[in-house]
Amino acid sequence: MFEIKNVTKKYKGEFALNNVTVEIGKGLNFIVGASGSGKTTLLKIMSGMEQDFDGEVSYGGKDIKALTNQEKSYFYNNIFGFVWQDFNLIEDFTVLENVLLPQYLKDDQQTKNAEKILKELKIFDIASQKVKNLSGGQKQRVAIARELMKNPQVIIADEPTSALDEKNSKITMDILREISKSRTVIVVTHDTSLISDKDNVFELDKGELFSSVGNKLVKTSEPNMRKNHSLSLKNAFSIARTGIKRNIGRFTVSTLSLMMAAILLLTTLGGAINTNSQDAFEKLIDTYGEGLLDLSIVGSFTSAEGTEGNEDDQPNADVSQDIGGLYEKYASDERVAFTAFLQAMDNISVTVDGKNYTVESSGNAPVINKLVTGEMPSGAGNEVVVPESFVRTLGIDNDQAIGKEIDFSVSMYNWDTGSPVLKDATIKATIVGVADTTAVYEYEDQMMEFSVDDSFFFSKTALDDLRNQTEIKGDGINFLIRAKSPADLISIKDELNEQGIVPLGRFELVEDIVRLNTQTTEQTGSASTTIGFLSVVMVMAIFLITGVMRKREYAIYKVSGFNNRHLNLLNVAETLTVAITGILLMLVTSPLINVATEALFSVNILNAEMLTKGMLLILGVAVIAYGTTVLAYVRTNIATALKKGDR
């Protein structure tokens, strides 16, 4: 039984209801009155959809104004049923799917009960038809069936017949009359022909309850609030599956938008390696060898100025520079792969395992293309890296050479007197590495290669000993720095130049690539940020538009008893299904997508790391999509979303 006491509701200072006091009990109750007299306002207040008013309303002793959201959703799932002028069914769902909607929140699904109700309302044979294909009369019976599935104590019907023809109005009214034998039925109507003498009639006039005719009050029992009222994960996925089945277009758009956004983010955040410049650099390495990454630091050299016939203007110049201390500085630099001394050696003879070998002198400074085995000398002891050609002479594998002791005897030029004097020295050293000592140079547009077989690289300790024996003074031994990357090479070169040191190397070849790469990285960097930002905005826009378009659907869920917690779970189920489908689709179509990402962004996504990142990005974007959808249903107000023409 509803007890309404001194209820007043004003809109912008105007009374919609003015001090209404009435009790409404079991049976068929009509609320009548002219348009604008306050009928809908009274229904909204009685059902808890409008809680901002003066006065008191209670049902079965329960204060409707004070209902929490949780209690209200319980009421809508178990105690109040609603029948509307325009049915408020989910049009894409079938009759049965609509009728079962309130059941998902109940422990027992009562599908048998659904069958009985559908049969009673003569709509059993259309149970599997989509609601959008039905007539108005059929739709109204589906709506009543859905509400009866709640087994409610009260049915509140707002103009239930005004969209129906005379025949269907009568059928609907007969059904409501039948229902009212065991429940409270409240019908708002303009049509007084629906009313019989035995019915209770309440008439509103300009917000005042003007008269109540034939009101025989039958009390209703207090509502039982202890029933379970929750949505299981299984049921959430079951509703999500139905939604996808019935709205495959929306599902496809959502899935594709997640996948596309993730792929766009992948090409940007996922490390847009500029494969073009990487490829170009690798080609250069193929041609020139790894020595392309070398900076030679020498104490004196003859500058190349004045060659090519310009000798008069710019004569050749002997340049001397102080390179003391630089070896130590760069030996431990992060950008450096290794350092090696460039001490020229003559008359080399080596004894290994008691056998003596003579190494022919090339007259060149030692050369290293790359270390093929072991490591460069780093320890404090007497260590040496020997040429691969020397290991071949020994008749052993590179690996077998590591750890062998050599007796090394050599002549080195001492320039201290101004002219070269050859002096002899010997040393014992352990082989720690084997190097490919191929030198590559350009001669008349042809690339030439030869192996510099007298390229032995000693540790600092060993070399100091050799230099002591040959009485070479000064701390500036020529050495080379092998940079880790082209960018490192250029940065070390620039740094040395700033200190007034001129390193030697083929910098022009590498410099172009590094500058081009920095430029394209900067450009792709800003383009990436824009693309990444836009892809997230795109997903948010799609899910926001979808969410807003679904407001009426969310209101139907809410009026069936779903609260925001239940809708959150449904949102999780829907978004997870979309995300997982997006991931599978991305994996299946990745070879195709890769063609596009390679062409557009020079990014190869066909590897485990990129695909894993892609999957994580889809899940990340799905979280954003989830959050955007939350906004739509949290902000859905039942009365506003369902009542046509409401302000």
CB–CB of 472/412 below 8 Å? Answer: yes
CB of 598 to ligand ATP, least distance (A): 57
- Which tokens in the block code for residue 261? 């956004």
Nearer to ligand ATP, 38 or 614 (CB): 38
CB–CB of 189/32 below 8 Å? Answer: yes
| Contacts (Cβ under 8 Å, ≥6 apart) of 135 | 168
For residues 556 and 565, give the distance between their C-alpha atoms in angstroms, rounded to a whole number.
15
CB of 81 to ligand ATP, least distance (A): 19
Matching residue, tokens 């009639």: 201
Nearer to ligand ATP, 49 or 365 (CB): 49
| Contacts (Cβ under 8 Å, ≥6 apart) of 319 | 300, 301, 302, 303, 502
What is 57-86 written as a DSSP string? Answer: EEETTEESTT--HHHHHHHHHHTEEEEETT
Cα Rg of the chain, angstroms: 44
Nearer to ligand ATP, 11 or 450 (CB): 11
Nearer to ligand ATP, 37 or 597 (CB): 37
CB of 186 to ligand ATP, least distance (A): 13
Q: Determine phi and psi for 76, rounding to 5 degrees.
A: -70, -20
For residues 466 and 462, give the distance between their C-alpha atoms in angstroms, rounded to a whole number.
6
For residues 578 and 600, give the distance between their C-alpha atoms in angstroms, rounded to a whole number.
26
For residues 300 and 321, give the distance between their C-alpha atoms in angstroms, rounded to a whole number.
6
Matching residue, tokens 């978004």: 575
Long-range contacts of 316-322 (CB under 8 A, 24+ apart): 319/502, 321/500, 321/501, 321/502, 322/476
CB of 100 to ligand ATP, least distance (A): 31
Cα 478–Cα 484–Cα 485 angle in degrees, nearest 5 = 115
Q: Which amino acid is at 530?
A: T
For residues 237 and 241, give the distance between their C-alpha atoms in angstroms, rounded to a whole number.
6
Q: Determine phi and psi for 538, rounding to 5 degrees.
A: -60, -45
Q: Which amino acid is at 594?
A: N
Nearer to ligand ATP, 16 or 295 (CB): 16
| Contacts (Cβ under 8 Å, ≥6 apart) of 312 | none
CB of 158 to ligand ATP, least distance (A): 8
Nearer to ligand ATP, 158 or 294 (CB): 158
CB of 521 to ligand ATP, least distance (A): 57
CB of 37 to ligand ATP, least distance (A): 4
CB of 75 to ligand ATP, least distance (A): 21
CB of 45 to ligand ATP, least distance (A): 10
Nearer to ligand ATP, 191 or 511 (CB): 191
Nearer to ligand ATP, 145 or 204 (CB): 204
For residues 439 and 452, give the distance between their C-alpha atoms in angstroms, rounded to a whole number.
7
Nearer to ligand ATP, 40 or 254 (CB): 40
- Which tokens in the block code for residue 397? 């594998």
Q: Which residues pair with residue 575 across a beta bridge?
A: none
For residues 57 and 63, give the distance between their C-alpha atoms in angstroms, rounded to a whole number.
6
Binding site for ligand ATP (CB under 6 A): 11, 16, 33, 35-41, 647
Nearer to ligand ATP, 158 or 454 (CB): 158
Looking at residue 209, the DSSP 8-state letter turns out to be: E
CB of 136 to ligand ATP, least distance (A): 19
Nearer to ligand ATP, 169 or 478 (CB): 169
Nearer to ligand ATP, 11 or 415 (CB): 11
Nearer to ligand ATP, 36 or 474 (CB): 36
Nearer to ligand ATP, 14 or 279 (CB): 14
CB–CB of 49/640 below 8 Å? Answer: no
Distances (CA, A) of 140 to 87, 115, 153: 6, 17, 19
Nearer to ligand ATP, 45 or 297 (CB): 45
Q: Which amino acid is at 255?
A: T
CB of 42 to ligand ATP, least distance (A): 7
CB of 646 to ligand ATP, least distance (A): 6
For residues 23 and 18, give the distance between their C-alpha atoms in angstroms, rounded to a whole number.
16
- Compute CA 273 distance to the chain's CA centroid, rounded to the nearest angstrom: 19
Matching residue, tokens 């999957």: 615
Looking at residue 131, the DSSP 8-state letter turns out to be: G
CB of 118 to ligand ATP, least distance (A): 31
Nearer to ligand ATP, 35 or 499 (CB): 35
CB of 140 to ligand ATP, least distance (A): 18
Q: Which amino acid is at 335?
A: R
CB of 205 to ligand ATP, least distance (A): 10
CB of 39 to ligand ATP, least distance (A): 4
- Which tokens in the block code for residue 618? 């889809």
For residues 266 and 261, give the distance between their C-alpha atoms in angstroms, rounded to a whole number.
8
For residues 71 and 67, give the distance between their C-alpha atoms in angstroms, rounded to a whole number.
6
